[in-house]
Amino acid sequence: MKGPDDDPGLEGKVAIISGGGAVGDGIGNGRAAAVLLARAGTRVVVSDLDKKLAERTVEMIKAEGGTAVAEACDATREADCRRLVDAAVDHWGRLDFLDNNVGIGSRGSVVDEKPEEYRRVMQVNVETMFLLSKHAIPAMIKTAKGGAIVNISSISALRPRGLTTYTTSKAAVIGLTRAMAVDHGKDGIRVNCICPGPMYTPMVYARGMSDGARTQRARASVLKVEGTGWDIGYAVRFLMSAHARYITGQVLVVDGGVTLQGPERDSEGH
């Protein structure tokens, strides 16, 4: 006997993935989410500041028979966010999902951080989600009578370990998620947040990472394994699916149990 949610409700829907590119053929959180949603039949708008990176994600999706388009977007600019949402609706007549995946890191303390750098991190890590959601939500209501938004935070927001500006921004993402969930539940829009642990993604390994550092990161988890962008991608797909129809305003920690362990300061959780 089938339950009401055996259909994940992803086929034929339309998603925007911000920060959906990655260097080369690397699998970042956004690229993984885009590929996995496309495999489920969702049509995907992949956006990135560097359109070439988004185009590579689209190539991967099309190679598997999926449907996707690439768009350049500086999500710190409201005009770009508006244009990105319009592009999704223009392509396929609707918008159902938004994955707010844009983010940058920082390492300074309150004393060390320059005010302009603090403002930049807050702008990229928080304001981009505000701006994209501001334009995506009315489109979801108008074209799909609802939808789902996933915001990417970090375990740094739950267990601070320095990285003060980054930690502050990621904690703000959780607050933004919960407030949006309350505001737009009446519109049929679910809003949830994922807190990744130390994932092995291009954002991290592009700076260079030794085998020893990777081993240390794996040991930080109770599972003794290292996470990847695919782990976050699967979590995004679940939260956007009908299987998560009764979940909103929640924080899903995807860290292999790192936050159950002692302090770990090796790298950003995003």
Task: Write the CB contacts of 59 (distance below 8 Å, at least 6 apart in sequence).
Answer: none
Cα 58 from Cα 68, distance rounded (Å): 6
Cα 181 from Cα 173, distance rounded (Å): 12
Q: Is the dihedral of CA 52, 56, 57, 58 positive or negative?
A: positive
Q: What is residue 183's DSSP assignment?
A: H
Cα 51 from Cα 48, distance rounded (Å): 6
Q: Measure the N-to-C terminal CA separation of the chain; round to a whole number of Å.
A: 40
**Residues belonging to the chain:** 270
Is 166 an active-site residue? yes
Is residue 259 within 8 A of residue 253, CB to CB? The reply is yes
Task: Write the CB contacts of 203 (distance below 8 Å, at least 6 apart in sequence).
Answer: 22, 28, 105, 268, 270
Residue 89 has φ and ψ, to the nearest 5°, of -70, -40
Strand-strand pairing, 227-228 and 199-200 = parallel
Catalytic residue (one of 166, 200, 205, 246) = 166
Structure tokens at 217: 């990161």
Continuous segment of H or E residues that includes residue 162: none
* Residue 196: closest CA among 232, 221, 164, 230: 232
Residues with active-site annotation: 166
